[in-house]
Chains A and B, each alone.
Chain A
Amino acid sequence: MAEFLGARVAIAPNDPEHLGFLEAAGKGRFVLQRCAECSKLRYPVGNACPFCTALGWEWAEVSGKGTIYSYELVMHPIHPSFRDQVPYPIVLVELDEQRGVPSEHDALRVLSMLVNHEDRPESIEKVAIGLRVEVGFTDLGDGLALPRFHLSDEPPEHTPWSLKG
């Protein structure tokens, strides 16, 4: 049974989209849906293309590289699963693929807990907008894994910014 932080990971039998996403991650692949008509990628998983309404799609592997677009630092846990994780950073990662599509301020932005190389929450002092990140895979059991991002060795995309105090 797939499990994460003491909670069940339950993919509904009629939800092949989420299953496929986590199965691919289980094989070390970070995949997004690509529209069969207009070829645009989308995230999160959905049942039609939000850019052209087409229903057909296929999985497409992407680089898993991106830049921190925004973030927060969770200091007070709500759900029991995260009680021993605080403080932890949640980042909004703007992927390298398809930036500025379909218009200037749009991009593929993926939420993730920012983790370190031990797969634990990254130190909150290290988080900043503009830093480069890369995807990794956290095992969930049952052949499934969760893509989560960590800081990469690449230089920041722009002068890093973080909330002082």
Chain B
Amino acid sequence: MTRLKDRYAIVGIGMTEISRNSGRTTRALGVEAVRAAMVDAGLGAGEVDGMLSYHGNDSTSSPTIAGDLGIRLNFYMDCSGGGSSTEALIGIAMGVIEAGMCNVVAIFRAMNGYTEARIGGTGRQAPVFTGASLEAGIHGMNAAGQSFAPSFMRHMYEYGTTSEQVAHVKVAHSKHASNNPRAYYKQRVTVEDVLNSRWITKPLHLLDCCVETDNGVAIIVTSAERARSLRQKPAYIMGVAGRVSKEQPGGYHWSRGPISRVAGYYGAPIVFGQAGIGPEDVDVTGSYDAFTFTTMLQLEAYGFCKEGEGGGYVSSGIIELGGKRPNNTHGGHLCEGYTHGISHVVESVRQLRGQADDYCPNWAAGEHTYDYSEGGCRQVKDAEVTMNLGWAMPATGSALIMHR
């Protein structure tokens, strides 16, 4: 089970600007992100020979990106999917390298998530009710928040979880984003700000929901052996779980309960089993935050707290910079920008390198003040082990554990 532990690593990371007006194609965003990751790793076009991407019919495929960069591929695959994809594709990259199909794999997500393809649609087109939408869409359930809300509400009913508790997720992530020059929303918010923001669908306020942005993000995976001769300190992969599902995960998962228990419940033994560690050994988490509740349910599912105690956990200060185990130190999807999870993995790599690109003048040299006040530092001191918790929906998730 631990056969591949420490044998693969993330060696390069790249990101474009995060905006709501990229004015560019996903092709341009993908090319810039992949190239940035190559430069970061110190890899030339002749040294990358694998490419993976994920999309919702809203992106540009690997061969086009590779072609623009003069990369000849020995393997590529573009798969459909959202927030559970990055970790899953990292596992696939390890597998195809292990199989001898290629050596160095770039993984990217490029999206104009605000100006082109918005999650839940633009609202401009009238829907046609057909197929599975006859069981959800026709009843008025047409967007991610609407489809996750019954799971969130049931958690509140079963465990007494409150809006105030969950609002702390946004508060923590906004604190982190205030120290991230790239973040779309840098302003710190309070619990009251969240509770006073307008309702989207109860129990979700506007500020319980993530931002939609245009951006491209990339990472590069290769063997630990190859990693050691490259430019950056490798982030070694200890364990990975990809698109682990609950029963009947095809969108309509509510008949199998408890519905507030998310797929991470099944992913935890896989990923911790490979890594040979437990939640208590993790220094920094990157728990997907399409919504505040998403972060909480996943931290619970992976055993960072007991089932039902997520509200207490996320409001305890533990998940904030300066706390015991900060979550989404870049500000996450709630504040930094929306990338379908890949930016969370990029942030883990930065934390493990000691190179969180905050407002510390010499962050690139790994010099940090560890002063987490606004406009300051966001590096976690001595971050050794990170864990990413990806989410497609309550019934599907992925996870990744890395160490420096």
Contact = CB atoms under 8 A, between A and B. Distances in A.
Contacts of A107: 255, 257
Contacts of A124: 202
Nearest to B120: A78
B123 A163 contact: no
Interface in B233-277: 247-248, 252, 254-259
Contact of B150 (A45, A76, A90): A90
B140 A70 contact: no
B255 A108 contact: yes
B255 A111 contact: no
A76 B200 contact: yes
Given A44-B135, A73-B201, A73-B202, A7 B126 contact: yes
A151 to B, nearest CB: 16
B201 A111 contact: no
B232 interface: no
Given A111-B136, A165-B163, A70 B248 contact: no
A18 B157 contact: no
B139 A105 contact: no
A80 B126 contact: yes
B370 interface: no
Contacts, number: 145
A42 B255 CA distance: 9
A88 interface: yes
Interface string B117-143: 000110111111111101111111111
Contact of B259 (A18, A70, A74, A163): A70
Contacts of B198: 75-76
B149 interface: yes
Interface string A54-74: 000000000000000111111
Given A50-B248, A90-B146, A106-B255, A74 B130 contact: no
A147 to B, nearest CB: 10
B150 A112 contact: no
B163 A105 contact: no
A37 to B, nearest CB: 18
A50 B126 CA distance: 33
A124 B195 CA distance: 19
Nearest to A19: B134
A80 B139 CA distance: 13
B150 A71 contact: yes
Contacts of A146: 134, 138
6 contacts: A18-B131, A45-B135, A90-B150, A105-B256, A129-B157, A165-B195
8 tightest Cβ-Cβ pairs between the two chains A and B: A105-B257, A72-B149, A73-B202, A70-B150, A75-B199, A70-B154, A44-B135, A109-B254
